[in-house]
């Protein structure tokens, strides 16, 4: 499943979509409405040093906070806010005036669904972890991803990753 953005009456909305093969053709089925899409530009771009010395969920929260602070969000504990868009990292949910919302970050979308997917990651392969991080809009350098994966998933990067 993946997040698809649709434009309706000039406004963008996010949906969770699943591909199915029927009679040799691909059909897309909308599984869930995720909310109105918001886009906030980065106000600055400075190198973020990533230290993974906390628990896995706290590290994910820190990565999200750093990305959202660059986009002008104000932090109050585990709640971030900008222009009536509220992100509660504890619940986890993203709301705009009390309704579901999505924030387009980098190459992904930050919404309640992608947050829960990140928090529930169990022992997975590197591909599943990388996919979950990217789908939530967290962009890590190759070195930071290897550190993250080794620290929280106890594995080593794939052989082709180590050869580089």
pLDDT tens string 126-164:
777 788 888 888 888 788 888 877 777 775 544 444 444
Q: What is the pLDDT of residues 7-63, one digit of tens each?
A: 999 999 999 999 999 899 999 999 999 999 999 988 766 555 666 777 788 888 888
User: Which pTM does this prediction carry?
Assistant: 0.80
| Furthest-apart CA atoms within the chain: distance in Å | 52
Length in residues, the chain: 164
Per-residue HEC secondary structure of 14-62 comes to EEEEEEEEECCEEEEEEEEEEEEEEECCCCCCCCCCCCCCCCHHHHHHH
Q: Could you tell me the residue ranges of all domains in the chain? A: 38-163
């Amino acid at each position: 499943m993946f997040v698809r953005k649709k434009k309706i009456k000039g406004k963008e909305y996010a949906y969770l979509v699943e591909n199915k093969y029927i009679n040799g053709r691909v059909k897309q089925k909308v599984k869930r409405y995720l909310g109105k899409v918001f886009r906030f530009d980065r106000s600055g771009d400075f190198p973020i040093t990533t230290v993974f010395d906390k628990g896995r969920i706290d590290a994910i929260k820190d990565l999200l906070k750093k990305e959202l602070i660059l986009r002008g969000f104000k932090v109050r504990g585990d709640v971030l806010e900008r222009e009536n868009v509220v992100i509660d990292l504890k619940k986890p949910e993203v709301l705009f005036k009390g309704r579901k919302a999505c924030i387009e970050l980098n190459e992904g979308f930050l919404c309640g669904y992608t947050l829960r997917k990140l928090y529930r990651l169990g022992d997975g392969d590197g591909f599943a972890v990388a996919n979950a991080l990217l789908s939530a809009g967290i962009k890590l350098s190759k070195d930071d991803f290897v550190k993250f994966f080794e620290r929280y998933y106890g594995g080593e990067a794939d052989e082709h990753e180590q050869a580089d």
